[in-house]
Amino acid sequence: MASNRKLLVLPGDGIGVEVMRQVHRVVDWFDKRRTVSFDVKEGLVGGAAIDKHGWPIDDATMDVAMNSDATLFGAVGGPKWDGLPFEKKPERGLLRLRKDMDLFANLRPALVFDALADASSLKRELVSGLDILILRELTGGVYFGEPRGVSTLPDGQKKAVDTQVYTTSEIQRIARVAFELARKRGNKVHSVEKSNVMHTGVLWREVVTATHKAEFADVKLEHMLADNCNMQLVRNPKQFDVIVTDNLFGDMLSDCAAMLTGSLGMLPSASLGAPDATGRRKALYEPVHGSAPDIAGKDMANPMATLLSFAMMLRYSFDLPADADLVEQAAKNVLAKGIRTRDIAMPGETPVSTTQMGDALLAELDKLAA
Ligand code: NAD
């Protein structure tokens, strides 16, 4: 069936290839059962691309990514390529995708499935039913600001400098994404900075407040200092819906929130660019985990993070919320039945394989769609 939903799949290396196989099965399922079809292209990235082309991603694949509605990425890297120079490392493929597509908005949901609430480092009652979204500014701030570097002072000491920089438009565009996402969820945004000690924090708060007043007054907005947010995430995480913050604080807070959910194999993510004239945003969806060389090739990896990334793609790139809900509900049902890969299995439970987890998800999709 012809489709205008252009999807590029980049499995990458290690378990990236294995988990992506399960996504293809779900794409086929949608094609057959839901008449939702995708024009799917597949490409090489990371070590697999280095082996074939000598580079972690080639220009032809970049062109396809730039012209796709969404790119679904597995994972890259592995011991085979560890010794390569920095510019040729597998991870450079991912960095090029993020940079060339100008993906400034990184979405990291922290969703606790009831069946896995005991895997969290917090008590069940604090995390059961948790569904928060950390929105991190990804292309600005202290990781990119100039001046930066290490110099030697006249007295022989060294001096290292990093610079935190944000402009009005950089803050405005991430704030807009936060408010738009909140409207599709719990309608509440916490904007997080350090306006008590940082000039960028003062500007951040001013711009978010003005953007809210001018365009999103229907969404509830609260401001919170980053250190307090960190504490609140482990004290009472369910108070949050969408948290929007800068690159550095987002890096810290999203990892903290991730741990509330218990397992790396369950964490999806999305990175979005600016909307074009038609409103379409470039978008990259990927699990948070890496290529897991320790279990690669053994059919042991948990495919849920990648399947949930696919669900995010349905929601945010293709505006198919009912279909995204369907995949997420199928994942919940699978877990509720105690079907688990090794990383999330409880003591005494027999883990299933990657393929069996895919089988179980498809069976649940069948039931839900019946
Ligand atoms: P990793 O995420 O690959 O693995 C960490 C641990 O978690 C391992 O024990 C692994 O077996 C387990 N794990 C990860 N995902 C899992 C899943 N889906 N199911 C079951 N268990 C899972 O991180 P690492 O070991 O630090 O890195 C391995 C390689 O991946 C390195 O080459 C690293 O550079 C690369 N990496 C790539 C990305 C990416 O492509 N986005 C991210 C992180 C690391």
Question: Distances from the Cα of 336 to the Cαs of 124, 339, 340, in angstroms?
Answer: 15, 7, 9
Residue 143 annotated as catalytic? yes
DSSP secondary structure letter of residue 345:
P
Strand order in 105-111's β-sheet? 39-42, 6-12, 70-75, 281-287, 268-275, 105-111, 131-137, 242-245, 188-193, 220-225
Q: How far does the chain reach from its first CA to its final CA, in angstroms?
A: 22
Q: What is the pLDDT, as a whole number, of residue 275?
A: 87
* Same domain for 244 and 124: yes
* Same domain for 128 and 94: no
User: Which of 225, 244, 266 is the C-terminal boundary of a domain?
Assistant: 266
Pocket test for ligand 1, best of 22, 264, 286 (most atoms within 8 A of CB): 264
What is the number of other CB atoms lying within 10 angstroms of the CB of residue 313?
26
For residue 111, give the nearest of 322, 318, 257, 228 by alpha carbon.
257
Distance CA 59, CA 107 (A): 26
Q: What is the CATH number of the domain that holds 212?
A: 3.40.718.10
Question: Distances from the Cα of 148 to the Cαs of 200, 204, 249, in angstroms?
Answer: 17, 21, 19
Pick the catalytic residue from 51, 102, 227, 319: 227
Question: Distances from the Cα of 12 to the Cαs of 21, 45, 57, 78, 198, in angstroms?
Answer: 12, 5, 10, 10, 39
Residue 255 annotated as catalytic? yes
Q: What is the pLDDT, as a whole number, of residue 292?
A: 97
Distance CA 27, CA 53 (A): 28
Quick one: angle between helices 15-29 and 354-369, nearest 10? 20
Residue 147: asked if its preceding bond is cis (omega within 30°), the reply is yes
With a 6 Å cutoff on the Cβ, whether 305 touches ligand 1 is yes
**Per-residue confidence of the chain (370 residues) as pLDDT tens digits?**
446 799 999 999 999 999 999 999 999 999 888 778 899 999 999 999 999 999 999 999 999 999 999 999 999 999 999 999 988 999 999 999 998 999 999 999 999 988 888 888 899 999 999 999 999 999 999 988 999 999 999 999 999 999 999 999 999 999 999 999 999 899 999 999 999 999 999 999 999 999 999 999 999 999 999 999 999 999 999 999 999 999 999 999 998 988 888 788 999 999 999 888 888 899 999 999 999 999 999 999 999 999 999 999 999 999 899 999 999 999 999 999 999 999 998 888 899 999 999 999 999 999 999 8
Helices and strands per DSSP (H, E), number in the chain: 12, 12
* Same domain for 119 and 236: yes
* Same domain for 113 and 99: no
User: Which of 215, 238, 266 is the C-terminal boundary of a domain?
Assistant: 266
How far does residue 252's CA lie from ligand 1's centre (Å)?
Answer: 18
Cα 78 to its chain centre, rounded Å, is: 21
- Which residue, by CA, sits nearest to atom 17 of ligand 1? 265
Give the chain's domain count: 2
Q: What is the pLDDT, as a whole number, of residue 1?
A: 44
* Same domain for 209 and 332: no
Write the CB contacts of 137 (distance below 8 Å, at least 6 apart in sequence): 104, 105, 106, 166, 170, 171, 174, 244, 245, 246, 247, 250
Residue 194 annotated as catalytic? yes
Q: What is the pLDDT, as a whole number, of residue 194?
A: 98
* Same domain for 185 and 88: no
Q: What is the pLDDT, as a whole number, of residue 276?
A: 87
* Same domain for 251 and 113: yes
* Same domain for 172 and 73: no
How far does residue 269's CA lie from ligand 1's centre (Å)?
Answer: 15
Decide: helix, strand or coil at residue 97.
helix
The rounded radius of gyration (Å) of the Cα atoms in the chain is: 21
* Same domain for 233 and 129: yes
User: Which of 266, 296, 314 is the C-terminal boundary of a domain?
Assistant: 266
For residue 81, give the nearest of 60, 51, 61, 59 by alpha carbon.
51
Q: What is the pLDDT, as a whole number, of residue 2?
A: 44
Pick the catalytic residue from 28, 114, 143, 359: 143
How far does residue 249's CA lie from ligand 1's centre (Å)?
Answer: 22
Helix/strand/coil (H/E/C) assignment for every residue in 168-199? HHHHHHHHHHHHHHHHCCCCEEEEEECCCCCH
* Same domain for 153 and 90: no
How far does residue 271's CA lie from ligand 1's centre (Å)?
Answer: 19
* Same domain for 261 and 114: yes
* Same domain for 261 and 120: yes
Decide: helix, strand or coil at residue 49.
helix
Structural domain for 291, as ranges: 1-104+273-370
With a 6 Å cutoff on the Cβ, whether 345 touches ligand 1 is no
